[in-house]
Amino acid sequence: MTSVLFTNARLIDPEAGTDSTGWLQVTDGRIVAQGEGNNPSSDGQTVDCNGKCLAPGIIDIGVKVCEPGERHKESFKSAGQAAAAGGVTTIVTRPDTSPAIDTPETLEFVARRAQADTPVNMLPMAALTKGREGREMTEIGFLQDAGAVAFTDCDHVITNTKVFSRALTYAKSCDALVIAHPQEPGLSAGAAATSGKFAALRGLPAVSPMAERMGLDRDIALLEMTGAAYHADQITTARALPALERAKRNGLDITAGTSIHHLTLNELDVADYRTFFKVKPPLRSEEDRQAVIEAVRSGLIDIISSMHTPQDEESKRLPFEEAASGAVALETLLPAALRLYHADQLDLPTLFRAMAFNPAKRLGLKSGRLSEGAPADLVLFDPDVPFVLDRFALKSKSQNTPFDDQRMQGKVLATYVAGNEVFRRP
């Protein structure tokens, strides 16, 4: 029986909504007790946290690992190392690979690769339609049996409403979660920015925020018809929030996420046409950003994700509208989120509710909390240490981060999976 006692810790408990000083006892990879005051006796290892924060490990939904097909951008080994260094203990991987993860055989391949090379937990998602082409749904039941935790075509919006409704109906019969990208595809095609004065002055092809609202409205109507379990991967505009609120109030099985980039950056950050700031959907106005932060604070938006999307230098060193969308974020998710904490916009329990507890709840996992019996997937971090980010020091194979050379505050000190240390900062 292995035992670890974490002492002198600032315990961030998103389930209880508390931020308090105390200790945490781990035995055989599970949390067995926590408390305040005097430390209990321990026959095993003792870790003195020196007053730093101890929280549930981050569960990151929507991580792209580029195996199979584009291993030069990101492998399971490099993604796992980046996740561990970022305090991410579970990565939920996307199926937008080459080929797409749309068969049990492909799913089993990536699961084997992850098990061999990744120090953190990996849960795969599978494509909702074959080839993510929106024409024929995948074998959802067989893919579930092979280990798929959710089904998504990622940023390929299914335009055929009948196909999507049938897929939702079948997913409902299997108790499967469908993750969609709410966007009206005709309006958003070719867009590199959000429409408005800034995009017009920069001469960038743009999309109205209404495209997100229209896409979400369609999906909500299909949820009313099918009763399926649904998660919107990224809600980034104020216009979409009333529809989301009504859907929840009406009792639909719907949750929503947003990306760390849309919470901490806005459309003005692309002023110099820096393609590292090109993400999908495009960065929004400051008013939208503030509205989304408030939605996370209130719980209307449930989950914060990195939307980790590695791109190589060749695909980013192009004119802005031609460059590939996406940014790496496994290692920058926590320090970027701490910007909101230091700005007094979100407290630490609220942040970890959105980054750990709610993702675990949505996926039916026992992790994401500090309660007795939960897996000891933990992150120890100092929220106050300042640093300047150097993208070349990132562990991801691709270094396309918008936070390069930016002043940040907060570093991961150690990461634990099932009570075992998988990362420690030198």
CATH number at residue 412: 2.30.40.10
Total number of domains constituting the chain: 2
Domain boundary residue, one of 363, 385, 404: 363
pLDDT at res. 249 = 98
- 325 neighbors 280 (Cβ within 8 angstroms): yes
Domain boundary residue, one of 363, 391, 413: 363
Q: Which residues of 66-98 are buried (b: 16+ CB within 10 A; e: fewer)?
A: bbeebbebbbbbbbbbbbbbbbbbbbbbbbbbe
Q: Give yes or no: residues 411 and 358 share one domain.
A: no
- Phi then psi for 262, rounded to 5 degrees? -75, -20
Q: Give yes or no: residues 242 and 169 share one domain.
A: yes
User: What is the extent of the structural domain holding 20?
Assistant: 3-53+376-424
pLDDT at res. 38 = 76
Query: Is residue 182 a part of any domain in this protein?
Result: yes
Q: Give yes or no: residues 88 and 139 share one domain.
A: yes
User: Distance (Å, rounded) from C-alpha 34 to C-alpha 193?
Assistant: 47
Q: Give yes or no: residues 218 and 91 share one domain.
A: yes
Q: Give yes or no: residues 48 and 61 share one domain.
A: no
On whether the pTM is more than 0.75, the answer is yes
- 247 neighbors 223 (Cβ within 8 angstroms): yes
- Give pLDDT tens digits along the chain (426 positions): 689 999 999 999 999 999 999 999 999 999 999 998 777 877 889 999 999 999 999 999 999 999 999 999 999 999 999 999 999 999 999 999 999 999 999 999 999 999 999 999 999 999 999 999 999 999 999 999 999 999 999 999 999 999 999 999 999 999 999 999 999 999 999 999 999 999 999 899 999 999 999 999 999 999 999 999 999 999 999 999 999 999 999 999 999 999 999 999 999 999 889 999 999 999 999 999 999 999 999 999 999 999 999 999 999 999 999 999 999 999 999 999 999 999 999 999 999 999 999 999 999 999 999 999 999 999 999 999 999 999 999 999 999 999 999 999 999 999 999 999 999 998
- 258 neighbors 304 (Cβ within 8 angstroms): yes
pLDDT at res. 1 = 63
pLDDT at res. 41 = 76
